Structure 1
Amino acid sequence: MMNGVAQVQPAIHTSFTANQPIAKPKTSFSTILKQTLNTVNDAQLNADNMTNDFVSGKPVELHNVMIASEKANILLHTTIEVRNKAVEAYQEMMRMQV
């Protein structure tokens, strides 16, 4: 039985050392956040434009308008939930005692 544990032990190692610098991410959090908010905004504007085109009688299919509207709605609600979780995490960290 001890032989099996000895075989596993050499496989467990860590590549982190105290002197090793932490690798920087390729894109910053603010860049990702801006891109995401721009995507949500673009979806909202696209849905609004398609709705306006449909109401004004332009040749737009109703199902395409509904799909664009629901896509924008889902993106917006997802963004709101992510924001809520981020605020909740921040508040939890502020309540921590040092």
Structure 2
Amino acid sequence: MKIQNTSLYQEMQSMAAQAGRVQPQAKPPIQESAATSTAQFGDVLQNALNTVAGLQRDAKEKVTAVEMGDRSVSLAEAMIAKNKSSVAFEATVQVRNKLVEAYKDIMSMPV
């Protein structure tokens, strides 16, 4: 995901100036970027969720194989896969919590 910090910052300053909260400073013209930043963020988020789901499926398959007595999968492999999926899921939950917190902060800002 490629985010252009300067153009984002300039756009935020422009919006604040329009809202009358900040006096506009001398700034270079805002570079128009394609409206794909939302799509790119969505794609990155979707890929991350698909990765977590894949790790969970893999862990479930390995645990089931160990429970059924499949000798091609060791208990250590199943435990590692289960822990990987657990860590990935917890990280996803933390990202979700941060996004919700950021959304609430933005929505509570006075206009």
Q: Same fold (TM over 0.5)?
A: yes
Matched, 1:58 2:84: no
Shift of 1:17: 2.6
Cα distance, 1:22 vs structure 2: 3.2
1:91 is aligned to 104
> Using the alignment, how far apart are the partners of 1:29 and 1:19 within structure 2?
21
> For residues 29 and 63 of structure 1, do their structure 2 counterparts lie closer, same or farther at Cα, with a shift above 3 Å needed?
same
Aligned sequence identity (%): 35
- Could you tell me how far 1:69 is from its partner in structure 2? 0.3
Which consecutive unaligned segments of at least 5 residues does structure 2 have?
Answer: 1-26
Provide the aligned C-alpha RMSD in A.
1.7
Structure label with greater radius of gyration = 1
Gapped runs of 5+ residues in structure 1? 1-15
**SS of aligned partner of 1:28:** helix
For 1:40-78, what per-residue CA distance to the aligned partner results, in whole angstroms no more than 9, with x for missing partners?
A: 000000000000000000011111111000000000000
Counterparts of 1:1-98 in structure 2 under 5 Å? 17-18=28-29, 20-22=31-33, 25=37, 28-59=40-71, 60-98=73-111
Helix, strand or coil: the match of 1:96?
Answer: coil
Aligned residues: 82
